Structure 1
């Protein structure tokens, strides 16, 4: 089993070269679930039991399946997979046939080697909605916020990539992991014949024993190849009233959702910065001690999901605005991806910077947080910047 959450799976100097990258290279689409974090790497192979979709709460269904597997003789069963954005859509969670753990990819020296280049780059790209329509939708949302209907909504758009060739999902996963080995990289089945693959910067929540950790992100600026300009953009983000307000909405929601579960909840007053290869983000790390150690990681994740970072606030009006403005079904995008064991420990990540693969199609997703002070053009540009992670990984950079 992995080491306690929030601690490195092994010190860098004791990590054997190739231990973590071997799991990355062994990933097989369709049957495997791969999840890497700054602390550990997981390859779950095959399906021994699926979590059913019925009227019971999801946490109860997960506990029941894990209890059944333990009663059947599995000493350390876990579930892994994804929970969608829509509250009434089925989760795709399963107990795998086998589980392999390794230290974090960032501690494996072989992650520094270049990944395989995309085998095919002949993608045909269709926007949904087109950038100008998205800008108009943001402007309409800003008007509603200034009228007092709601405080924030996250509006998304997609790029549909089609090719004569099926996507090389192992290669795509490898390029994402090599690009940001300290982030959260995943590839999991998301439905019949579909796979969700991505590299998220955002931990929703993790639980280890009686301790929890959450790391909400909100407020974004694109990186620059010029060092001086990159530093200026980071500094400007830290002082941006619009982005700080957007971030505060998310942090307040995290505090409100987690406080009832905790005897102690520590949340810094001001955010810090985290960076990916393409973006700067405002970040806050919350830590807490559970009042009831039987509360599992998935229960905490569902208490938080969806945060204002991916939906908006108030949640009901934001969901309705999203339904009205977005001409597509989000599916697993802005849901959660992760794992949980029979003890209730687990790690759940926000499903962003991702794509869903089905046959010869990849659907990429990107969204931006819209508040009363938003510039529609700037929010459109933010989604364009967020697409770069996946576009670069599939060889379709624009």
Structure 2
């Protein structure tokens, strides 16, 4: 059984390790004004807003490029754009060039990340509402399965939310610290997502990274909950690697990634079988795709937009899956299953699939979790999978489902 926590960025050379530098950026994060992103390659903290990326009819990549060039012409030698894009393609982006950016090595290489972080708040203060209720979600899964067995489409990702309300505004800095310490080898983020709103989370999934002429993508599809019992945990991991249902779901996603990236590449390497990636809560089937770009003008954001949304967060065919999602989910996904990340003026960057996340607004947190539904799915299994995925955030905020 092959397991890798950081294979998606293993080909990128990390900066020298400076003990305490990464955790210092984590502890320095302040909501509303800052943008924090930790990846297996480095840690980034953007402070303030120099330029916001506008929402207009021009291509997004052009708007980003012009903003970065304007900032560089204004005297910033290495500007970056940081933020998120929503699931719906024509919705406004939440991207900006910060006034200042501080970089540090990866959190996973900082020995101080192993020290205890801030304790979660008491588990009695949150009011929790499930949207939709589990039985309603299960009925939507069953309806989708019937349509797939009739040949209407191949896959859809259906999500549900938890609406958490607290007596007072939650401490997002402490929450971010707990998320980062729970999975320091993943992708931890906190960025403004709209007026008075903050997108915060810890995703396991790299959509795509570009470094010079090389790209890396790491699609995840097919999941199983972890167990606190070691023998059972190993059994679940081994079963996932042999699950026909999950292997099929994963293959659909990998094929879509290959098809989307191939036109940009002179060489594209796609392993024949997936490996496993683990987080604190889940096992995932994982394939690391690498390639050499055909030209220097293709940016990380170009690649991300060509991929987004993958069948791992939407379904296939995409148009049909979007229609099923719109009819089945009684909420707007907003930034959930969008992308979050950064890009510099040279086109290098990393974009991550926005999962294992919540959107904070005032005293409210909206948590999101979804499951890939195929013809072999069962309502009970998919409902349980979303419940397991909620654990990442419930543990971070000190709430129970």
Normalising to structure 2: TM-score of the pair?
Answer: 0.96
* 1:70, distance to aligned residue in structure 2 (A): 1.3
**Which residue in the other structure is 1:259 paired with?**
262
**Which residue in the other structure is 2:378 paired with?**
375
Give runs of ≥4 in structure 1 deviating > 6 Å: none
SS at match of 1:190: strand
C-alpha distance in 1 between matches for 2:358 and 2:227? 24
**Which residue in the other structure is 2:14 paired with?**
9
**Which residue in the other structure is 2:326 paired with?**
323
Question: RMSD value over aligned CA atoms?
Answer: 1.0
Distance 1:337 1:5, change over 3 A: farther
Which of residues 21, 24, 27 in structure 1 aligns to 2:26? 24
1:288-322 deviation digits (Å, cap 9, x = unpaired): 00001110000100000000000000000000000
- Would you say 1:165 and 2:168 are equivalent positions? yes
C-alpha distance in 2 between matches for 1:63 and 1:362? 33
- Would you say 1:346 and 2:330 are equivalent positions? no
Give the conservation status (yes or no) of the 8 Å contact 2:12–2:211: no
* 1:188, distance to aligned residue in structure 2 (A): 0.4
- Would you say 1:84 and 2:86 are equivalent positions? yes
SS at match of 2:254: helix
**Which residue in the other structure is 2:4 paired with?**
none
**Which residue in the other structure is 2:5 paired with?**
none
SS at match of 1:22: helix
Residues 185-200 of structure 1 correspond to what in structure 2 (within 5 A)?
185-200=188-203
- Give 5+ residue unaligned stretches, structure 1: none
- Would you say 1:298 and 2:298 are equivalent positions? no
Residues 68-83 of structure 1 correspond to what in structure 2 (within 5 A)?
68-83=70-85
* 1:230, distance to aligned residue in structure 2 (A): 0.5
- Would you say 1:47 and 2:49 are equivalent positions? yes
Deviates most, 54-63 or 66-75: 66-75
- Give 5+ residue unaligned stretches, structure 2: 1-8
Give the conservation status (yes or no) of the 8 Å contact 2:223–2:246: yes
1:12-40 deviation digits (Å, cap 9, x = unpaired): xxx23211100000000000000001110
Give the conservation status (yes or no) of the 8 Å contact 1:5–1:208: no
**Which residue in the other structure is 1:285 paired with?**
288
SS at match of 1:74: coil
Matched residue count: 392
**Which residue in the other structure is 2:6 paired with?**
none
